Amino acid sequence: MPRSPVPRAGRHGSSRLSRFRKLAEREVHRGSLITVAVGTFADPSGEEFTRDLVHHPGAASIVPVIDEGTAALMVRQYRAAVDRDLLEIPAGKLDVAGESPEICARRELEEEVGMRAGRVEKLAEFFNSPGFCDEHSYVFMGLDLAPVARSAHSVEERHMSIERVALDEVPSLITTGAIVDAKSIIGLCLVREILT
């Protein structure tokens, strides 16, 4: 029997409509950033089940490339959910009405690092933890950087530091656990693949 071709992935990685159906959703918590809900679903046979769901506005991040494409700027900031300082690429929530992911990434670059990108290229988009959360993230590469005034907003941003990371050191920084943030790993690995 001939095999059918593999379906192409569509918007947000979906190759087709699911045979599962969402029947209902009940909000159980609304916070300043996320909403938590309990969803009721039916599988292809009609059996019903529930899942905890977290709704998130999405995020955009950017890899600021410096030193003729040999290094990137990162920020070290406190992350309350894991109670640690993490080394990350600049990023922020898609929480400004009408703001595109690219504009959000450009804004975060200026706020967190004090740089403006002359050119921005989209690298990827992905779901962070689709097993329970709908957060959809975008990662960009920022090139031709020029300094601007930094304008930190959150308490974490006011206490973050900026660090230079050589792109040839990225694999060892990941494997040794110096960089554990997923968006940063994705962005840095893609930039390294493109530029080195």
Question: 7: pLDDT confidence band, cut at 50, 70 and 90?
Answer: very low
**Tell me: the pLDDT tens digits for 23-74?**
999 999 999 999 999 999 999 999 999 999 999 999 999 999 999 999 999 9
CA distance 35 to 27: 7
Question: 3-state DSSP call for residue 166?
Answer: strand
CA distance 144 to 14: 34
For residue 13, the model assigns a pLDDT of: 58
Which DSSP letter does residue 169 get? G
For residue 3, the model assigns a pLDDT of: 39
For residue 12, the model assigns a pLDDT of: 56
Assign domain 59-195 one CATH number from 1.10.3720.10, 3.90.79.10, 1.10.540.10, 3.40.710.10: 3.90.79.10
**Tell me: the pLDDT tens digits for 78-128?**
999 999 999 999 999 999 999 999 999 999 999 999 999 999 999 999 999
Q: Are 30 and 37 in contact (CB under 8 A)?
A: no
Instruction: Tell which wins on pLDDT, 68 or 12.
Output: 68
For residue 103, the model assigns a pLDDT of: 98
For residue 57, the model assigns a pLDDT of: 98
For residue 5, the model assigns a pLDDT of: 42
**Tell me: the pLDDT tens digits for 146-175?**
999 988 888 888 899 999 999 999 999 999
* Residue tagged 């403006």 (tokens): 116
Q: Are 95 and 171 in contact (CB under 8 A)?
A: no
Q: Are 107 and 140 in contact (CB under 8 A)?
A: no
As a whole number, mean pLDDT of residues 178-185 equals 99
Q: What is the pTM of this model?
A: 0.90
Q: Which positions are annotated as active-site residues?
A: 156
Query: What are the domain boundaries of the chain?
Result: 14-55, 59-195
Q: Are 84 and 76 in contact (CB under 8 A)?
A: no
For residue 17, the model assigns a pLDDT of: 76
